[in-house]
A and B are shown apart, each in its own frame.
Chain A
Amino acid sequence: MPFSASLARLPLVLAAALVLAGPAAAQDAAAPLALPATGDEGPLRIEITGGQVEPMPIAIAPFFDEGGAAEMAARIQEVVTADLTGTDLFREIPASAHVARPSGFDDPVAYPDWRAVNAEALILGSVALRDGQVTARFRLFDVFSGQPLGDGMQFDAPEAGWRRVAHKLADQVYARITGEGPYFDSRVTFVSETGPKDARLKRIGIMDYDGANPLWVTDDSALVVSPRFSPDGSQLLYTSFGNGMPQVMLMDVATVQSRPLKQEAGTMSFAPRFSPDGRWIVYSREKGGNTDIWQMDVATGAERPLTETAAIETSPFFSPDGRQIVFESDQSGTQQIYVMPADGSAEPARISFGEGSYGTPAWSPTGDLIAFTKRNGDKFHIGVMRPDGTEEKLLTESFLDEGPSWAPNGRVVMFTRQTPGGDGTPRLHSVDVTGRNMRPLSIEGAASDPDWGPLLP
């Protein structure tokens, strides 16, 4: 296969992140000012799900070049800034407005100067580039309380992995201020689409969460849809029409070698998902026009049905603890969402009861929400609800939105939005759980079926 070379070149491993020695001494002894927006005397904090609408102003002092990294320092800072402001939770105070001009990474912080420009948080960073290795350090400060926010850290990586260094750094800032898990240093598998609508060519790609560094792991000779990562990101499940009918395939990403899952002649298989422990694959199997959900033991290939109705059951998805499966069924006459024990030991319970039909449920990695596609009249929505079906909230609306996939921290979903008409084109978009920060992903060309992989080590 012609793709292994590009994969082999990827810097998949970052050197261990080092915690830096003690934070820079606080220069300013004045009493901390009360924080706006989040109020309280507590630490600097953004509540993602709260009512806060104004992004938090942050200052990022120009990253210091600590050897051979004048350009690299600027590039890393640019990606860090894009990660943070892309969440719509942070607003960057432009360098031109800065009053303080620190001269070194270990300088004492001039808190009053940063307060003067209304910065609530300050990031100091430095980058060195030696012998093909990038070393980046950062410190994060709560400007109003005049205290460091956590320890400084250092990241090392091969030069080609500089974007990952930037994502790791931004992840630290994001996680410390929001209290949510990190997610910038992660990858997304998706389907790239070319050609006319009635003869689309599709191939599977893997890219950074922000659309950078796309690479291809299949060619477009066979129609392929809906790739999904294994829990550790080392394998992909996808559905190929290479034999004329849908068939679940399993790919080892490192070698880009695929094999079909065992399939009874005359049946179709599709909609595969791994269990969180990687031990099971659940998928849809169609026989004689009827589609049920089946479970396969990855190690032995042993299979059994989890649903046996005359209705269509598809799009199964495990809860993060592996104990339950959420899926869709049209046994009520329309597509609706149901939850059942992962071993099929009890009757499924329907959880969607709003107007319209519901499909493609995706349980959040944090367990608290289930994202779904909803169709109501001629509109499609991406929405979220509690696992018991309460607190339904629609995040988007368009001619055709579908297939939400969760970021590793369970606070953002990526999905496909297709425009109508003969030149209608699918594009990837992301939206946070508040529904306020909806944005298209900046990648070239048409794309669909995103599946957000795990946080990278």
Chain B
Amino acid sequence: MTGLRIAVAVLVLAGLGACTQAPPPAVVTDPYAGSRYTGTLPGGSLPGATAEDFRRTAGDTVLFPENDAALDGTARATLVRQAEWLKQNGSFSSVVEGHSDEQGTREYNLALGARRASAVQEYLISQGVEAGRIRTSSFGKERPIQVCSDPACQAQNRRAVTVVAPGAGV
């Protein structure tokens, strides 16, 4: 890049020195534009692929209705982005953690969280992510993200969070 910039500068100086007629604008093109690889990258990852990048670009959380593991349109859109990210970064594995709100008994909520995590896992697999790269777990109501007890907080707690990490084990 440095060499290219210098060459452009020289061209401009030469033009100024020769006559008053404006030279044709210097056009710098990228010969590799459009050559982006968008398929899966088994065993590798794109530069800049981090857990933080996953959270920012794909979104790590989907929300669920009360007492339910159904994926709505918003959740499915998030999971499509998660699947794309995982396919582009094949060296990453993931664990989907299912959670519930506090309005329920402890053991049932563990089972409900597992049902939600599994719904996410199945959807990611349906989008082409290898099954072996997605584990599931459930924390039930043990790890709320919002601590208040009004309906808006409870809604945020009924969630599945996809946690990614480089390597085979998350």
Contact = CB atoms under 8 A, between A and B. Distances in A.
B114 A226 contact: no
Contacts of A360: 105, 107
Contacts of A335: 105, 108
Contacts of A244: 95, 137
A268 B145 contact: no
A288 B118 CA distance: 6
B106 A403 contact: yes
B135 interface: yes
B164 interface: no
Interface string B121-146: 11000000000000111110011111
Contacts, number: 105
A71 interface: no
A289 B102 contact: no
B110 A421 contact: no
A241 interface: yes
Given A245-B138, A246-B138, A198 B107 contact: no
A418 interface: yes
B132 to A, nearest CB: 10
Contacts of A86: none
Given A266-B135, A421-B149, A198 B105 contact: no
Contacts of A373: 105
Given A288-B118, A289-B136, A400-B103, A312 B145 contact: no
B122 to A, nearest CB: 8
B72 to A, nearest CB: 18
Interface residues of A, number: 46
Contact of A268 (B105, B110, B121, B147): B110
B103 A375 contact: yes
Contacts of B149: 399, 420-422, 424
A210 interface: no
B115 interface: yes
Contacts of A239: 110
A128 to B, nearest CB: 47
Interface string A206-230: 0000000000000000010110000
A241 to B, nearest CB: 7
Contacts of A315: 105, 107-108
A359 B105 contact: yes
Contacts of B139: 223, 241
B110 A270 contact: yes
Interface string B92-124: 000100000011111110111011011101100
A375 B102 CA distance: 12
B62 interface: no
A39 B108 CA distance: 47
A270 B107 contact: yes
A33 B142 CA distance: 58
Given A314-B107, A403-B106, A198 B143 contact: yes
A200 B119 contact: no
A289 B133 CA distance: 16
A226 B118 CA distance: 24
A77 interface: no
A286 interface: yes
A373 B107 CA distance: 12
B107 A197 contact: no
B1 interface: no
Nearest to B139: A241
A223 B136 CA distance: 17
B107 A289 contact: no
A284 interface: yes
A286 B108 contact: no
Contacts of B114: 268, 286, 289, 291
A378 B149 CA distance: 11
A402 B110 contact: no
**B106, B112, B137, B145 — most chain A CB neighbours (10 Å):** B106
Contacts of A328: 108
A196 interface: yes
Interface in A9-31: none
Given A289-B119, A418-B102, 7 more contacts: A225-B106, A245-B137, A286-B111, A290-B115, A312-B115, A403-B105, A424-B147
Interface of B: 67, 69, 95, 102-108, 110-112, 114-115, 117-119, 121-122, 135-139, 142-149
Interface of A: 196-200, 223, 225-226, 239, 241, 244-246, 266, 268, 270-271, 284, 286, 288-291, 312, 314-315, 328, 330, 334-335, 359-360, 373, 375, 378, 399-400, 402-403, 418, 420-422, 424, 448-449
5 contacts: A226-B106, A312-B112, A328-B108, A375-B104, A449-B106
The 10 closest A-B pairs by CB, nearest first: A289-B118, A420-B149, A291-B111, A245-B137, A422-B147, A197-B147, A312-B111, A271-B107, A359-B105, A286-B114
